[in-house]
Structure formats: C-alpha cells, structure tokens
Amino acid sequence: MLLYLFLIFAGYLFVVQADNQVTWNRTKLEANTDSYHLGIEPSWSQSNLTLGSEVCPGGYSLVGSKCLMFVTFIAQPYGEARQFCHAAKGELAAITTATDFKTLVDYIHANDFTNGEFWLDGTDEAAEGVWVTSSGEAVPLGTPFWAAFGASQQPDNVNGKEHCLYLPPAWFFYMGDNPCSAVKNFICEATIQTQKKAASAALAPFGPSAVGGRVTCPMLFVEVGGLCILFITWEEETWEDARQACAGASSDLLAITNVEVFRALYLYIHLDNLSGHGFWLGGSDIESEGIWVYTTGELVPMGTPFWGLYEMNAPVQEPNGGTSQNCLAITGDGFYNLRDYSCTSKFNPLCCPLMKMSMSKLVELKLNVRNIDVFLLAPRRNLWENDFHTLPHISNVIS
C-alpha cells in the first residue's frame, strides 16, 4: 500500500530545482487516486508548493524552526501516516513548545490549510493519559495546546478509543485526541540540517528568563516567564476596581502577548495551587467593540492558541459576549484560556509593575542597540530605574 501511495506521489508531482528553490508541480494524473476514493480533494497552496530554504530537505518547508511537509493529497490512519513520513525521511511533526504550536497554527491559516484535519506525533497507546511522541518526549498537556470548552478540555478518550493526536479545524486547530484508525491528512517533520534541535518547553524553562538572567522582582511579586507578577488572591474585584488594587502596588493589570509567558502562567497557577481562582487581565474592548486592547496600549492577541472555545458540538471561539462582556479574564472554569466577561464580574487582580521607561524610549533602544534582542525584556517587564546596573550593555544608551 505504501509503495502504491508513493507511485501516486511520484506521478502527481515532480521536482524542479531553480534558484535554490524546490518547487512541486502537478502532472496530468487523472483524479482516480486513493485520496479521491476517501473523499479528500488534493489541495495546494503557494507555501505548500515552494521551499525557499536550504536547511530543509526537498518537499519540506521551513516553518518557524521546523522543516514541515503538509500532506494534503492523501489521508491515512495514524500508523500509515507515520510510515509515509518515514519513507519521506521524516516523522510525524512533534509539537512540544508553545512557540512551535502558535507558529504552526499561524502558518496553517496563512497558507490556506484550514480545511484539513492533521495527524501530529503523539499518542497515549502505551499508557492511558501519558502522552508522548515517537521519540519518547512528553506531549505538553493543558493550555494553550489542547481544545478547552466550557465544561471540559481535551484529551477526553471518548469510549476509551481515542489515543492519537490531531489538529481539527472544527476546534480552531487546538489539539484533540481521536481513534488512531481514523483517516486524516498529516504533517511530516524532517531534521533541520544546520541547526540543533531546541529543548522542549515541556521540560525546559519558559519565557524570556530562560534566555538570559533572572528577574529581580519587588516584594510580593513573583517571576513567571520573565515577568514580575502579583497574585492578589485575598480579594475579588470588578475589572475597574482590580485596576485600582494594582495601582496601589505601583502596577496595572497584566498584559500577555507572548505565548510562552501564557504557558508559564498556566503552569505556575497549577503548580502553586491557585487553580481555584479566576484572574483579571488588562484587556478590554470597552472603547471599541471587538477591538481588544490592553491598558498598556498593546493589542490583545486573538484566536488560537490564546482564546478558548465553547459548545463542543458546535464550537465557537471566544470572545463571544458582545457588548455585555467587555473585559478580559482567565479562570479555572475556562481552563485559563482568554475569555471575555462582564466587567462587573468579580475576579482576583493579576498585576504587573508599571514601566519606568516610555514606549518611545523602548523604540529608541531597539534602534540603537545591536546584537541584543531588547524585546526579550518585553514592554511589560519591570524596567526599574534603579535596576539598570543589571543591564550593563544597554544602560549607557538610556538617557
């Protein structure tokens, strides 16, 4: 069967090498392949056709830090999909970091792969609930990876038969579990030739602090993902009153724009036994319905992997509350995805210190400092004026 698939693959495509690009082109093969028998229309986008990077093998595209092949012209059960990837000198794509997950979902949307359900590398066949890749690496569970609805989160192992990992478009490309015998498209991953594989965020530190030095936080603030955060768990407030509570600690409600910080916050809440609390963030669309903005002026990131879902059988993605729900919070009931709530609801404030440097100064700093990614510090990091001695390489450019 695998040989037959590759005869189809070879007949359907041929490779043209030009200007260091690999381009896949259609032949005149008649539409009587297995993919049509399975009801799957072969579909190609420009990004599926062209590879402009020398670090990936032929047929693969560089997506973030991974070489990926989106196999959309055939659909196979999980095991046969793995065999196909092996024959293509790869393996099913393994997603173990929040950054890689966001990059993949963004790529799917940007390149018109939104009609396909895709197998990924992950299964709990060996031990129920213990999700691992084919290499034995842990598949991260929870937010922001797996689909979360109002009352449940994947994986749910319906009827005890769902043991393989996939991305369903109906769930806005959050992860889900499905029977391994189901027939789906799939994504293969090949090794990047010129780079070492990055450590998995399922096992490694998260956020900016994993890159450089640690953050020194004020009293009562704790470092989470490179940010200093105050969890006011002793009082619940409306959104406006929560802002006032943060102001009393020279801070404002937290703004989250980085998916690794989002993941780190989720883990911290669970590891520190705070999962019974709901927390206000600094986002709202009070000024303009549907335009979500943080109090810092930064736009709230939309879609997957930030905002949660509801109604599992007919999924809709938050925000969905219209003019009656204009403020942003994360709650245990919502599996700590972003969700919109009435601003008069009462949750705990989640605070981050106010910046001591204006945005114009950050832009100036970005323009004048070379060989350092200043934005690893992030616009929400607490750049206290008396802490710049910890940044000797950039303090001299701040007037």
What pLDDT is stored for residue 208 in this prediction? 36
Q: What is the pLDDT of residues 193-213, one digit of tens each?
A: 765 444 444 443 333 333 334
Q: Read off the pTM.
A: 0.76
Tokens of 391: 């940044």
Identify the three-state secondary structure at position 271: helix
Identify the three-state secondary structure at position 242: helix
Q: What angle do CA 214, 248, 216 make, to 5 degrees?
A: 10
- 3 state SS for 16-56: EEECCEEEEEECCCCCCCHHHHCCCCCCCCHHHHEECCCCC
Distance CA 106, CA 63 (A): 10
Contacts 24+ apart (CB under 8 A), 157-166: 157/124, 157/128, 157/129, 163/123, 163/124, 163/125, 163/128, 164/78, 164/119, 164/122, 164/123, 164/125, 165/119, 165/120, 165/121, 165/122, 165/123, 165/131, 165/139, 166/117, 166/118, 166/119, 166/120
Q: What angle do CA 221, 227, 230 make, to 5 degrees?
A: 25
Q: Tell me which residues of the chain have a pLDDT lower than 70.
A: 1-53, 194-214, 355-399
Closest by CA position to 96, among listed 175, 201, 177, 166: 201
Compute CA distances 323 → 67, 288, 289, 307, whole Å: 43, 10, 7, 18
Compute CA distances 247 → 225, 240, 349, 353, 354, whole Å: 22, 11, 11, 9, 9
Judge contact between 131 and 124, C-beta under 8 A. yes
DSSP 69-120: EEEEEEEE-HHHHHHHHHHTT-EEPP--SHHHHHHHHHHHHHTT-TT--EEE
What pLDDT is stored for residue 32 in this prediction? 34
What are the counts of helices (DSSP H) followed by strands (DSSP E) for the chain? 8, 20
